[in-house]
């Protein structure tokens, strides 16, 4: 049986029909056939026989998705401190997907767990440290330490990393009180290192889309806003057990999840409150889960512009929502700050629409991580700096003070109490 190669078939077709009607095999149009002999994008004259030439290199295409990632050797190295649920399910995978950052170390109080995580993610044993971080300063592959431990432990972890010469990315809230937050800022200045707070919503596509709308005035005048963040507290899981202890958490639902309500509105409205009044509530339960921390918190905020806002937090139900009430449109993020599936809806006199975000909600994790890497490497301004975390700690303390006193408290722009209160 005689077989004809593809090249042989093309030669036969070209001789029988002429190159002018050849479509690289079958079905050519004369126009397409005429381009077959040109080396597209090279500006070079093709060989006499187009079938003998090599494939021409095409020019660089426009990239529809994110820009090409930085080569691995040029990405900043991150060590994750604290290997609990969030770290292993979200932070570490995000580092694996980041374009400016890579996982190069681990810090844990449980070495067996750390070794298992390291083996899964390619972290060598000599890049695994305990909470003293002894030897961390000698590891040049680690530039940044990501602290994901209970609130009250942030201070010792952050300062240990700073003293080892590393920059720090710290989970929110910054600490369990403002004094600890201030000590961390002082330590960073002394070490000439940077700290960023992991306010991931500032990098979530739906949230950033709404922020741009507000900044452009597309909602009109905004004189009222609400934000409600609630999630059930589950004492049966380890990640929630420390949240029931005031000395570790610093507070209850407002400290843990209500901070999204507080920080989110300040960011979106671009001003901090000048007055607030708060109440808290802790129902009795058979397991005593709310014996030391509040289950529910409600706060009324007054801003220097005259705007009003109402925020709430809770450890009973599940809801994460932000509403901005503008004169031209009402914008709703619901859900607002979930790990995935957030949604923005805008209602005007003409109707309701759901703007398509520039990417999936999951981009919030890689977005904040890569932003800090670029801030450390390239010197760009940090969008959620340590000073923002300190301000929010002052505000949270004002919330608890107001709830305790049952009265309004007046605030300075940095969140501290006006003197005399």
172 is catalytic: yes
Catalytic residue among 146, 199, 211, 260: 260
Residue 331 burial by CB count (10 A; 0-12/13-18/19+): exposed, middle or buried?
A: buried
Tallying the residues shown for the chain, one arrives at 421
Q: Is 83 exposed, middle or buried (0-12, 13-18, 19+ CB in 10 A)?
A: buried
Give dist(CA 306, CA 358) in Å, integer.
33
Residue 91, both tokens: 């932070």
CA distance 305 to 192: 36
User: Which of 166, 172, 194, 320 does the annotation list as catalytic?
Assistant: 172
> Do 127 and 139 meet the contact criterion of CB atoms below 8 Å apart?
yes
> Can you give the three-state secondary structure of the chain, one letter per residue?
CCCCCHHHHHHHHHHHHCHHHCCCCCCCCHHHHHHCCCCCCCCCCCCCCCCCCCCCCCCCCCCCCCCCCCCHHHCEEEEEECCCHHHHHHHHHHHHHCCCEEEEEEECCCHHHHHHHHHHHCCCHHHEECCCCCCHHHCCCCCEEEECCCHHHHHHHHHHHHHCCCEEEECCCCCCCHHHHHHHHHHHHHHCCCEEECCHHHHCHHHHHHHHHHHCCCCCCEEEEEEEEECCCCCCCHHHHHHHCHHHHCCCHHHHHHHHHHHHHHHHHCCCCCEEEEEEECCCCCCCCCCCCCCEEEEEEECCCCCEEEEEEECCCCEEEEEEEECCCEEEECCCCCCCCCCEEEEECCEEECCCCCCCCCHHHHHHHHHHHHHHHHCCCCCCEHHHHHHHHHHHHHHHHHHHHCCCEEECCCCCECCCC
Structure tokens at 77: 């190295």
Separation CA 16–CA 13 (nearest Å): 5
Active-site residues: which are they?
A: 172, 260
């Amino acid at each position: 049986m005689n077989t004809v190669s593809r090249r042989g078939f093309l030669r036969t077709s070209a001789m029988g029909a002429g190159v002018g009607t050849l479509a690289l095999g079958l079905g050519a149009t004369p126009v397409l056939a005429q381009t077959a002999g040109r080396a597209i994008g090279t500006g070079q004259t093709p060989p006499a026989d187009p079938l003998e030439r090599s494939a021409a290199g095409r020019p660089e295409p426009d990239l529809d998705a994110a820009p090409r990632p930085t080569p691995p050797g040029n990405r900043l190295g991150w060590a994750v401190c604290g290997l609990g649920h969030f770290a292993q399910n979200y932070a570490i995978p995000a580092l694996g997907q980041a374009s400016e950052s890579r996982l190069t170390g681990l810090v844990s109080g449980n070495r067996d767990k750390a070794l298992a995580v390291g083996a899964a993610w390619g972290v060598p044993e000599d890049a695994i440290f305990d909470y003293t971080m002894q030897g961390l300063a000698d590891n040049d592959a680690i530039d940044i330490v990501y602290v994901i431990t209970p609130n009250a432990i942030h201070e010792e972890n952050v300062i240990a990393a700073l003293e080892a010469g590393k920059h720090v990315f710290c989970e929110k809230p910054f600490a369990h009180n403002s004094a600890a937050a201030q000590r961390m800022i002082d330590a960073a200045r002394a070490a000439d290192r940077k700290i960023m707070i992991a306010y991931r919503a500032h990098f979530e596509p739906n949230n950033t889309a709404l922020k741009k709308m507000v900044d452009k005035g597309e909602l009109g005048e905004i004189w009222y806003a609400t934000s409600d963040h609630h999630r059930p507290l589950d004492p049966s899981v380890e990640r929630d057990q420390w949240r029931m202890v005031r000395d570790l958490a610093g507070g209850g639902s407002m400290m843990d999840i209500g901070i999204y309500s507080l920080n989110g509105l300040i960011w979106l409205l671009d001003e901090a409150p000048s007055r607030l009044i708060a109440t808290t509530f802790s129902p009795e339960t058979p397991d005593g889960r709310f014996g030391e921390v509040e289950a529910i918190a409600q706060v009324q905020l007054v801003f220097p512009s005259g705007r009003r806002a109402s925020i709430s937090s809770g450890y009973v139900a599940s809801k994460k929502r932000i509403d901005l009430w503008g004169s031209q449109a009402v914008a709703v993020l619901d859900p607002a700050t979930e790990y995935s599936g957030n949604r923005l809806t805008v209602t005007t006199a003409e109707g309701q629409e759901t703007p398509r975000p520039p990417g999936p909600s999951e981009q919030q994790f890689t977005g904040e991580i890569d932003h800090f890497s670029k801030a450390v490497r390239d010197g760009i301004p940090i969008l959620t700096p340590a000073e923002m975390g300190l301000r929010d700690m002052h505000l949270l303390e004002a919330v608890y003070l107001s709830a305790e006193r049952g009265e309004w408290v007046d605030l300075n722009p940095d969140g501290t109490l006006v003197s005399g209160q």
